Amino acid sequence: TQRARAGAQTSLHVPYGDGEGEKLDIYFPTDPSGTFPVLVYIHGGYWQCLSKDESGFAAPPLVSRGVAVVAVGYDTAPKGHMDAMVLQVRRSLAFLVERFSGIRGVYLCGHSAGAHLAAMVLSTDWTEYGVVPDIKGAVLVSGVYDLEPILHTYVNDALKMSREVAQRNSPMLCVAPAAPAAAACEVLVAVAQHDSPEFRRQSQEYGQ
């Protein structure tokens, strides 16, 4: 991330809301031509660790090719709860497209919890946000798309999700009402070589 910040024009800790964690790190193209695509990276960490500050690794090869990279911050647990995290990442997208008129296409990328949050972004009904991001693609790596299986695991100790919260924030249950903005979006669902059978099952079922 330090190398990314040294080699690109950056705007760090840009607030997209009033919350402490509601900040973006934006890495602009080295040779912006007025309009540019943007890769929005949502970090993982089981919704309770890591941050946007470790998420600039993707910037150097992309900004040199005219792509902006945005690392999204959100309030992790125990301070943040699942409904709030989903709302935050959705609002971060709305903020970006309102703030930067030069964006010509948004590409989402998320790993683990970040893949879950990116998938929830794909299911957003943008009418209540007043903007419709032009989401052209998404890369979801080792994501969790059904939250119910983690209700009785250590992961939920910090999240404290009820069954109702888990259900309404499970992308597998939100695929049908996906907004038209994501209808033509190409989605790549990937798993890592050593991911558990549950990760593989959820990725396969969500990707169908």
As beta bridge partners, residue 159 has: none
Instruction: Judge whether residue 9 has pLDDT over 90.
Output: no
3-state secondary structure of 23: strand
For residue 55, what pLDDT is reported? 92
Instruction: Judge whether residue 84 has pLDDT over 60.
Output: yes
Share of the chain above pLDDT 70, in %: 90
Instruction: Judge whether residue 182 has pLDDT over 90.
Output: no
**Beta strand segments in the chain, E:** 9-15, 23-28, 36-42, 68-72, 103-111, 135-141, 186-190
This prediction has a pTM of: 0.92
Domains, the chain, ordered by start: 1-207 (3.40.50.1820)
Distance CA 123, CA 125 (A): 7
94, 131 Cβ separation under 8 angstroms: yes
Write out the H or E segment, with its range, that includes residue 134: none
pLDDT averaged over the chain?
A: 90
Instruction: Judge whether residue 180 has pLDDT over 80.
Output: no
**pLDDT tens by residue, 16-67:** 999 999 999 999 997 766 799 999 999 999 999 999 999 998 899 999 899 9
For residue 178, which phi and psi values (nearest 5 degrees)? -55, 140
76, 48 Cβ separation under 8 angstroms: yes
Instruction: Judge whether residue 178 has pLDDT over 50.
Output: no
Instruction: Judge whether residue 165 has pLDDT over 80.
Output: yes
The mean pLDDT of 164-182, rounded to a whole number, is 76
Instruction: Judge whether residue 1 has pLDDT over 80.
Output: no
**Structure tokens, 17:** 């809301």
**Chain centroid, CA 159 distance in Å:** 18
Judging by DSSP bridges, how do beta strands 186-190 and 135-141 pair with one another? parallel
**pLDDT tens by residue, 88-119:** 999 999 999 999 988 999 999 999 999 999 99
Share of the chain above pLDDT 90, in %: 76
